[in-house]
Chains A and B, each alone.
Chain A
Amino acid sequence: MGPLIPNGVIPAEWDSIIAILIGIAFGFVLEASGFSSSRKLAGQFYGYDFAVLKVFFTAALVSVIGVYYMDYLGYLDVTQLYVHPFYLWGAIIGGIIMGVGFVAAGFCPGTSLCAVAIGKIDAIVYVGGIMVGVFIFSEMYTIFEPIYNGYFYGNVTLEDSLGINPYWFVFIFSMIAIVAFIAADMVRKRVKKVFY
């Protein structure tokens, strides 16, 4: 049956509308769980709040388990799902830049927009910074292009490149997640509490 749009259950024209609805829900959940506070986001790097790590790890875990169960029962075809293209050096360099920005400002691009919505000045400055970055990137695109389009390895998944059974991968992944949760809790207890 699924995925719904590629199989024509929902016409492809609807995807923008669905994107808007999902986006609103996503923004609501981010704000409701307090992710528009840069202190909370930065907390995981300093060790006093691991909510972000837990939330995103849990979300990934629930969806990956759900997707594979649905695939097993025939509701969804995993092979038809979109796999993000893998540009090796683009991903590494982009990841470093994004990580530095994340620690320094306490926002990731998604939560920064949430924070702009509730009127945080630091977030407005942050989004301004994103725009400047976009402008610089576009102006110097010819220089960055070899990295941007190079080192392309196709739309690979970990299962493809490691040759590992996806079910075992899900199991190992969930073990890692739970170990990470426990470790995060232990770290949090040792670090001095910060009130924010």
Chain B
Amino acid sequence: MKELEKTKRISIAAVIFILAVIIGLLTYKRPKNTYAINTKSTLEKITIENYIVALNELKNPEYVLIDIRNQYDFEKGHLENAINIYAAEILSADNIKVFKELEISNKTAVLYGNNPQEANAPFLILYQLGYDNIKLLAIENSYLQNKLITQNSEIEKSEADVSAFINESIKKANTTPVVKVVAAPPKKVITIEKKKKAPAEGGC
């Protein structure tokens, strides 16, 4: 019986410990959406893979159009057969289910917004969540007399040759401009020395 009395303190500690573990497990919530690929491989994938769809490629029966604009814009005018999923709600359980179903049925979700930049963020987030069946429709939507006008838009197209324009302007000015090429003040190289702190000694 003396044994038992001795273990009293230990059992109190054990109960507290087990309680802590149980509380930890009860409060645990598995995150609903988790990334499937890390940033490095995402970067590799988006620079190699072709995820851009042009307007004339839309005939492909595998493609399901998804309009990421808000409901008002969607109702004002949208592409034929498009589903409306507003960008801010793209991760909600219902919408994730839509993408999962599309993935199972081997269809490709094609996102579009008012311009490709707008669809970029939802696209990239879904892409990082591991949905490979996501593409981006490179179009620009505008309205003419309340009618939706959709045209192709080329992503990252350089619209003007800026340096050529500047040179041209200099020629046109016809003054012999003395363009002082002022070297920019070199930006300082700032190296913050890691303070090597003397490791605190201690140990038992």
Q: Which residues of A contact B (CB under 8 A)?
A: 32, 70, 73-75, 85, 98, 108-111
Contact = CB atoms under 8 A, between A and B. Distances in A.
Contacts of B199: 85
Contacts, number: 15
B96 to A, nearest CB: 20
| Residue picked from B9, B31, B199, B203, most chain A C-beta under 10 Å | B203
A84 to B, nearest CB: 8
A182 B203 CA distance: 27
B31 A74 contact: yes
A75 B31 CA distance: 12
B121 to A, nearest CB: 25
A97 to B, nearest CB: 12
Interface in B16-33: 24, 28, 31
Interface residues on B, range: under 10
A59 to B, nearest CB: 12
A109 B31 contact: no
Contacts of B162: none
Contact of A109 (B9, B24, B28, B204): B204
B20 to A, nearest CB: 9
Contacts of B203: 98, 109
Contacts of B24: 70, 73, 75
Given A70-B24, A98-B203, 12 more contacts: A32-B9, A73-B24, A73-B28, A74-B28, A74-B31, A75-B24, A75-B28, A85-B199, A108-B204, A109-B204, A110-B204, A111-B204
15 contacts: A32-B9, A70-B24, A73-B24, A73-B28, A74-B28, A74-B31, A75-B24, A75-B28, A85-B199, A98-B203, A108-B204, A109-B203, A109-B204, A110-B204, A111-B204
Main secondary structure of the interface of B (DSSP, over half): loop
A75 B30 CA distance: 11
Interface of B: 9, 24, 28, 31, 199, 203-204
A32 B6 CA distance: 12
Nearest to A74: B31
Q: Considering the complex of A and B, which 8 residue pairs feature the smallest CB-CB distances, nearest first?
A: A110-B204, A108-B204, A73-B28, A109-B204, A85-B199, A109-B203, A75-B24, A74-B31
Nearest to B196: A149
Contacts of A98: 203
Contacts of B31: 74
A138 B86 CA distance: 67
A74 B204 CA distance: 31
Contacts of A110: 204
A96 to B, nearest CB: 14
B201 to A, nearest CB: 9
Contacts of A32: 9
Contacts of B9: 32
| Residue picked from B24, B28, B199, B204, most chain A C-beta under 10 Å | B204
A111 B204 CA distance: 8
Contacts of A75: 24, 28
Contacts of A108: 204
A72 B114 CA distance: 41
Contacts of A73: 24, 28
A70 B27 CA distance: 12
A108 B199 CA distance: 20
Contacts of B204: 108-111
A75 B199 CA distance: 27
A1 to B, nearest CB: 11
Nearest to A94: B203
